[in-house]
Structure 1
């Protein structure tokens, strides 16, 4: 997946402490797809926690090793509760039960090698997506899934950045543990395909010691995402937090961490749109993919409606991509005359490198029932005229004119 956001790192002298380790508190509603999962047995002392991601109103994605005893090969606790919609309190928001028989671990999960460490939980009741519960902290939404990629695991050849979220430990010593009271965010540097990570996504902390954000106990199952828009509002989950490799078998997350690993979602996101339920007879009925280009749940014009046929004939769809690369970005524009379109300056603009993101620009005109229907007209990069005073950091003068290669067939 192309990373378009440039370098994001905490210098070691300025790093906040006591986080995912060295992460940051997530902003309100920043990661509405992240949930807190608690496992316990009523009447017994003890509990364990994991993190998960909302796929749709009934299904949550997490790690297979959560609540799993690798010695007895059985579940540890018999009660599972998923807390949804409040990233300011781990047990806030909506609480939904999951029955043990509705935990679908990958059928090829290997607890000793940590391979296929991925699972689906079917909730007892629906999540109130973008819901009606009146609470200032209530917010729940779905995460986008990547395209199926069995060969590259969804990665590029070179290193790239990603963002992880988790409800795990902030800090630990040999006799004390501090747990997160607010959802934590961590920026990590993933190794590219030129580094062997045992068919997993990984981050080598020994190679980049200044990147001290790391996962810890309780972050398991949490999402590792990359964003497909510059405002970081459309997240694609590329990994599920699996495990860390420590030096000298330490249990401290804040010391002696060699590398950390995530199960690649693109590898398991088969084109059948379903995931094995763990037995040979049936599939879990969970839909497992969404169209991340046009139909991201909850990411429409908020509470908008489908436009009527020919209702806004001046509105165009603008698609930016680079031939041979997988991902594209989209914007909307308005027809001014047969040769000019008005849109935003930030479209196709990387405000870190101050350069265009994609090489090819296409404007689709005349069909509001199909995003790539109607007339398709190219725009050359040198014919994209951004306002001369555009300030990408503050989004001032965020306006641009595009000169089309050929005329629009007005009312044609």
Structure 2
């Protein structure tokens, strides 16, 4: 069994504060992605920040395959569409204060770079979480009518260039980004732990870093020009202080579980 110790580098990066915003929209890009990383924990108030998301990085140019997760209309986490009826996100996003959020309070905005408008809003009818892994699946009550992401069958190699997407904060005290952002990351290890002790990919930021609200967002690796999701934003350094130590729950490690969930429910 992998270690479940969160340690000092893990903090709650989930933005669950009321921002006065409606359901948000998804996003994804084919070239450069965005960054973000959250962990379960206490609610934190967001400061007054700019409209950009992720610390550094750049604005994404496509929302393909992305989903913005909301609780009662307030932005919660980022996620990815893995099937027209299923969204993949981080397990800790569903436990912001230690208790499971009822599915009836959850919605996702899809097909929009803006998490507050555009695209469409779809309700969540059911959810599943993987034991001892920071992975969760949200079943939608209708089709998202969007192009799903591809899921990788193997973890990336150390040194590989990857891309992360999310609507997280642009600074440690800023509000979550209104628009989808992306950041370029370098794989440092594929044998780290996510916040629940599951296998994780550890990266360092090349042009940006993740922060609160990026939790649940996808980490992509380009293969022959096509994006494949290799990770889910799980945790990072407390306070988003630098561009190292980001951890992503490995999606190849959980691929069979993900496929079984979609087949069984």
The verdict on a shared fold, with TM-score over 0.5 as the criterion, is yes
Return the offset for 1:214: 0.9
Cα deviation, 1:258-302, whole Å, max 9, x if unaligned, reads: 5111000000112893139xxxxxx743xxxxxxxxxxxxxxxxx
Which residue of the partner structure matches residue 60 of structure 2? Answer: 26
Contact 1:61 1:120 in 2 (8 A): yes
Return the offset for 1:67: 2.9
Cα deviation, 1:52-79, whole Å, max 9, x if unaligned, reads: 11111111111111131454x3327851
Contact 1:36 1:91 in 2 (8 A): no
Which residue of the partner structure matches residue 25 of structure 2? Answer: none
Which residue of the partner structure matches residue 332 of structure 1? Answer: none
Which residue of the partner structure matches residue 137 of structure 2? Answer: 120
Which residue of the partner structure matches residue 65 of structure 1? Answer: 92
**Aligned partners of 1:145 and 1:20: how far apart in 2?**
23
**Structure 1 residues 87, 18: closer, same or farther in 2, change over 3 A?**
closer
Cα deviation, 1:10-61, whole Å, max 9, x if unaligned, reads: xxxxxxx95411010011xx240011111128xxxxx441111111111111
Which residue of the partner structure matches residue 121 of structure 2? Answer: 95
Return the offset for 1:212: 4.8
Instruction: Structure 2: give runs of 5+ residues left out of the alignment.
Output: 1-32, 34-50, 194-198
Contact 2:167 2:177 in 1 (8 A): yes
**Aligned partners of 1:69 and 1:18: how far apart in 2?**
24
Q: 2:185 aligns with which of 183, 188, 196?
A: 188
Which residue of the partner structure matches residue 80 of structure 2? Answer: 53
Contact 1:19 1:170 in 2 (8 A): yes
Contact 2:55 2:208 in 1 (8 A): yes
Which residue of the partner structure matches residue 80 of structure 1? Answer: 106
Q: CA RMSD in A?
A: 2.7
**Aligned partners of 1:69 and 1:179: how far apart in 2?**
16
Return the offset for 1:170: 1.6
**Aligned partners of 1:272 and 1:185: how far apart in 2?**
24
Q: Aligned with 1:270: secondary structure?
A: helix
**Structure 1 residues 273, 215: closer, same or farther in 2, change over 3 A?**
same
**Aligned partners of 1:202 and 1:120: how far apart in 2?**
22
Contact 2:114 2:178 in 1 (8 A): yes
**Aligned partners of 2:175 and 2:257: how far apart in 1?**
41
1:145 aligns with 2:151: yes
Return the offset for 1:155: 2.7
Identify which of structures 1 and 2 has the higher relative contact order when contacts are C-alpha pairs closer than 8 Å and 6+ apart.
Answer: 2
**Aligned partners of 1:257 and 1:185: how far apart in 2?**
14
Contact 1:39 1:67 in 2 (8 A): no
TM-score, with length taken from structure 2: 0.71
Cα deviation, 1:96-127, whole Å, max 9, x if unaligned, reads: 0113xx11111x13xxxxxx100110001111
Return the offset for 1:217: 1.1
TM-score, with length taken from structure 1: 0.47
**Structure 1 residues 271, 241: closer, same or farther in 2, change over 3 A?**
closer
1:274 aligns with 2:226: no
- Name segments (4+ residues, structure 1) moved above 2 Å: 73-78, 88-92, 255-258
Which residue of the partner structure matches residue 250 of structure 2? Answer: 264
Which residue of the partner structure matches residue 215 of structure 1? Answer: 210
Instruction: Structure 1: give runs of 5+ residues left out of the alignment.
Output: 1-7, 9-16, 42-46, 110-115, 130-140, 206-210, 277-282, 286-412
1:238 aligns with 2:230: yes
Contact 1:90 1:183 in 2 (8 A): no
1:228 aligns with 2:223: yes
Number of aligned pairs? 211
